[in-house]
């Protein structure tokens, strides 16, 4: 990694106590990209990280850059970053940083990945370099499968410039002028590369010598079948990114579901924010495309790697020797029994560290509840869930069994709006009470409440988590879940669900809103109290340090942007409190600055799994308070989302976080990047001790302490007729149970 690049990305602006939010995000994506060149990362995983970097950049432009452009058009010059960099300056520096990023992507693809893939007998070849027999086989595939789905889009007086869909790959086809004195630009047409067909076309069937051709190369070779008799001179790949940062007119919303559906449909016609093109595109043609798309040269980027890199699915090649070793998540040892999961939770709270410990435990809880005749009600928040979701199936099954089932579905979960609407409709048809949250607030908390009748009394079981109810991402995202039967948690969860399904009394912008003492005993909820409570806990640590001299704050999160919380951390640092932060993505706090943040260290962990858990620890004179939750320290989480932070009251679980999880993360030398006071990130190295990979260590801990089960992918393909029987059949001792390690 060229640290100087990241140092320049974060150079000083109006307030040098902060880093710029957007440039900090670009620095994060550079760290993701670095995983694609690290020799310790298996080759196909390096290719996967390159596609992740590309996808991240797509979302950044569709949301953050698009939002900046919209604000600029509306006359707003100040940005929303704590450093107060103006929008024009921010956009200029985004362009500078993005150019460097895509240049690095091209260099890694051409200079490192392609040669190493070739050395492993995985090749991407040009069609004209293949043997005649292979060319004919692909030509037949083109005629039979590709040609029927292609549509040529000419540009002439009868055919206006077409609408180029968001993130779709096109070939812009250039034709030869009939007369030398004709128009400055030759005739052109567009052909969309269909995303309903594979992008990589296998040339042979030899597993030891895999050769592929790109779909756009096949189409470009046979363009004469689309433009009969027209003399074609060249075809260039291009791709347009459009604004997907829709903004509901909150004051005008009458029906939230209808409004979100309307906005999602309107995205198809959203304005362009970026043009990507192959490096050999003619300058005059590029200028013409920019004009027609309403873009400037600063919005255009030349790529030396395939456009729509996310579709280049090399990771799907079945070469396990070129991927991280497989790992089948373990179950907590307490689940090695035929006893009901409710009995286990009544005895002791359950802490689940995903993906090292299986998300199946949560699925087992919900499906057991769905079949259990003593369970009367299930309530759950849903922000994002998987396509074939055992979570949704459990809620539907419970409703069909006559239980009271409520799902608080967040329709405004970005890029999952359509998916959430589909699942919401399906649940409604099954009898689930579906609530769509509030106008002006996103329901981002992760919470499940199960009400069960036991000995003629009602008992409540609560699951709280840092991550979504998504059985697919649960295998790749690092999150922590907490299941408890403690009465105070159950009472709080009941009250909060009543707030979520009732009138909006949570938004500070609600007419007649008046701050009131929290009616909750354990849960800390945004936007009502979260920022104030975090500030109170930091103040308490400052005071404790004055008394004991050993004040300590540890926080792990995805992003740190909120200026009020950053200022309070600066104050704690100046007071002598030692502060350790793990911030995976955006960090606007400047650590290690003299007289400001000398006692603050910041690292970012980027590795095999996506670090998504939020952990907050305050030493508090030895009380050792630990909180988990769904909220990052950003203004949107504090003010515009319904979030929950919850304490870990179980001593065993709390000690596990303090003595195992936090130290394991902080010792990392393999995945950790150190943030310096000048804004540069460098790979972290500790003065003494062996190399330490925190994620691999958690795998080892899970293997040593957990119990094996059926492979995770099989476990979550549950049988709805099992009537409460465990999905994972435990057979005697661990040695008799097969695993996919």
Specify whether 167 is located in the same domain as 304.
yes
Residue 201 lies in a domain: yes
CATH of residue 484: 3.30.870.10
Which of 58, 88, 119 delimits the end of a domain?
A: 119
Q: Is the Cβ–Cβ distance between 49 and 28 less than 8 Å?
A: no
The pLDDT value recorded for residue 159 is 82
Specify whether 362 is located in the same domain as 306.
no
Whether the predicted pLDDT of 1 surpasses 50:
no
Residue 641 sits at φ, ψ, to 5 deg, of -135, 150
The pLDDT value recorded for residue 711 is 81
Residue 254 lies in a domain: no
The pLDDT tens digits for 424-458 are: 888 889 999 988 877 778 889 999 999 999 999 99
The pLDDT value recorded for residue 81 is 87
Least trusted range by pLDDT, from 10-14, 146-150, 394-398, 602-606: 10-14
pLDDT band for position 198 (50/70/90)? very high
Specify whether 314 is located in the same domain as 400.
no
Which of 469, 408, 410, 409 has its CA nearest to residue 442?
410
pLDDT band for position 507 (50/70/90)? low
Which of 119, 135, 156 delimits the end of a domain?
A: 119
What distance lies between CA 34 and its chain's CA centroid? Answer: 18
Domain holding 395, by residue range, is: 333-510+711-736
Q: Is the Cβ–Cβ distance between 82 and 566 less than 8 Å?
A: yes
Specify whether 232 is located in the same domain as 141.
yes
Residue 258 lies in a domain: no
CATH of residue 95: 1.20.58.310
The pLDDT value recorded for residue 417 is 67
Start-to-end CA distance of the chain, whole Å, equals 32
Residue 5 lies in a domain: yes
Q: If you ran DSSP here, which 8-state letter would residue 110 be given?
A: I
What number of other Cβ atoms are within 10 A of residue 715's Cβ? Answer: 23
Residue 328 lies in a domain: no
The pLDDT tens digits for 326-361 are: 999 999 988 888 888 999 999 999 999 999 999 999
Number of domains in the chain: 4
The pLDDT value recorded for residue 349 is 97
CATH of residue 140: 3.30.1840.10
Specify whether 566 is located in the same domain as 489.
no
Specify whether 575 is located in the same domain as 441.
no
Whether the predicted pLDDT of 720 surpasses 70:
no
Specify whether 341 is located in the same domain as 303.
no
CA dihedral 627, 628, 631, 634 (to 10 degrees): 50
What is this structure's pTM?
A: 0.91
159 among known catalytic residues: no
Specify whether 492 is located in the same domain as 616.
no
Mean pLDDT to the nearest integer, 591-608: 96
d(CA 591, CA 675): 7
Token readout for 329 is 């998540």
Specify whether 450 is located in the same domain as 558.
no
Residue 476 lies in a domain: yes
Token readout for 623 is 């009380």
Specify whether 681 is located in the same domain as 558.
yes
> What does 527-567 look like in DSSP terms, one character per residue?
TTTHHHHHHHHHHHHHHHHHHHS--EEEEEES-B--HHHHH
d(CA 383, CA 385): 7
Q: Is the Cβ–Cβ distance between 580 and 599 less than 8 Å?
A: no
Specify whether 97 is located in the same domain as 176.
no
Residue 255 lies in a domain: no
Q: Which of 353, 354, 367, 444 is catalytic?
A: 444
Mean pLDDT of the chain: 88
Specify whether 140 is located in the same domain as 48.
no
Residue 269 lies in a domain: no
């Amino acid at each position: 990694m060229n640290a100087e690049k990241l140092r320049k990305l974060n150079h000083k602006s109006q307030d040098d106590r902060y880093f710029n939010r957007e440039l900090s995000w670009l620095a994060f994506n550079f760290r993701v990209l670095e995983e694609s060149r690290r020799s310790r990362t298996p080759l196909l995983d390096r290719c996967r990280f390159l596609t992740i970097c590309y996808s991240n950049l797509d979302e950044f432009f569709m949301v953050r850059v698009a939002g900046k452009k919209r604000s600029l058009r509306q006359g707003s010059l100040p940005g929303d970053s704590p450093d107060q960099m103006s929008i024009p300056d921010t956009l200029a520096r985004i362009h500078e940083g993005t150019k460097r990023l895509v240049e690095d992507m091209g260099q890694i693809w051409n200079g490192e990945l392609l040669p190493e893939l070739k050395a492993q007998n995985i090749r991407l070849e040009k069609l004209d370099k293949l043997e005649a027999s292979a060319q004919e086989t692909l030509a037949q595939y083109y005629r039979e499968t590709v040609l029927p789905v292609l549509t040529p889009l000419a540009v002439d007086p009868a055919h206006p410039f077409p609408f180029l869909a968001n993130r779709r790959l096109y070939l812009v086809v250039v034709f030869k002028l009939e007369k030398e004195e004709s128009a400055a630009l030759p005739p052109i047409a567009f052909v969309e590369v269909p995303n309903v067909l594979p992008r990589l076309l296998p040339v042979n069937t030899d597993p030891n010598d895999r050769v592929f051709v790109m779909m756009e190369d096949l189409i470009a070779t046979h363009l004469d079948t689309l433009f009969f008799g027209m003399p074609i001179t060249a075809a260039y790949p291009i791709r347009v990114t459009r604004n997907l940062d829709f903004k509901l007119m909150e004051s005008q919303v009458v029906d939230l579901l209808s409004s979100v559906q309307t906005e999602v449909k309107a995205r198809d016609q959203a304005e362009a924010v970026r043009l990507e093109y192959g490096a050999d595109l003619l300058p005059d043609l590029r200028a013409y495309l920019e004009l027609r798309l309403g873009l400037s040269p600063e919005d255009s980027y030349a790529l030396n790697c395939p456009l729509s890199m996310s579709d280049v699915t090399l990771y799907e090649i079945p070469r396990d020797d070129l991927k991280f070793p497989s790992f089948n998540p373990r179950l907590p040892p307490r689940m090695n029994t035929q006893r009901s999961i409710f009995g286990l939770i009544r005895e002791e709270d359950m802490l689940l560290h995903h993906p090292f410990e299986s998300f199946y435990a949560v699925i087992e809880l919900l499906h057991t509840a769905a079949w259990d005749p003593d369970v009367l009600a299930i309530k759950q928040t849903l922000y994002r869930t998987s396509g074939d979701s055992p979570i949704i199936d459990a809620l539907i099954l419970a409703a069909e069994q006559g239980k009271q089932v409520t799902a608080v579905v967040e329709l405004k979960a970005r890029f999952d709006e359509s998916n959430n609407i589909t699942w919401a409709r399906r649940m409604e048809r099954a009898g689930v009470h579906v609530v769509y949250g509030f106008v002006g607030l996103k329901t981002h908390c992760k919470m499940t409440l199960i009400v069960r009748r036991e000995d003629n009394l009602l008992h409540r079981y609560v699951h709280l988590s840092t991550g979504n109810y998504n059985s697919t991402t649960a295998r790749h995202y690092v999150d922590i879940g907490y299941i408890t039967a403690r009465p105070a948690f159950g009472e709080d969860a009941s009250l909060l669900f009543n707030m979520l399904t009732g009138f909006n009394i949570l938004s500070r912008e609600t007419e007649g809103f008046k701050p009131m003492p929290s009616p909750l005993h354990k849960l800390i909820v945004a936007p009502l109290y979260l920022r104030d409570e975090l500030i109170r806990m930091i103040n308490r640590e400052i005071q404790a340090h004055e008394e004991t001299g050993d004040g300590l704050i540890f926080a792990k999160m995805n992003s740190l942007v909120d200026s009020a919380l950053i200022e309070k951390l600066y104050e704690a640092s100046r007071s002598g409190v030692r502060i350790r932060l793990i911030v995976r993505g955006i960090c606007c706090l400047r650590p290690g600055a003299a007289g400001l943040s000398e006692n603050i260290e910041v690292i970012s962990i980027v590795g095999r799994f996506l670090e998504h858990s939020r952990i907050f620890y305050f030493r508090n004179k030895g009380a050792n308070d630990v909180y988990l939750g769904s909220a990052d320290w950003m203004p949107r989480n504090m003010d515009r989302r319904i979030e929950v932070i919850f304490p870990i009251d179980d001593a065993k679980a709390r000690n596990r976080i303090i003595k195992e999880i936090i130290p394991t993360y902080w010792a990392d030398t393999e995945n950790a990047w150190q943030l310096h006071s000048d804004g540069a990130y460098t790979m972290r190295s500790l003065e003494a001790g062996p190399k330490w990979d925190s994620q691999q260590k958690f795998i080892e801990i899970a293997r040593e302490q957990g119990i094996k089960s059926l492979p995770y992918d099989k476990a979550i393909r549950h049988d709805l007729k099992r009537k409460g029987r465990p999905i994972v059949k435990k057979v005697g001792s661990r040695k008799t149970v097969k695993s996919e390690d």
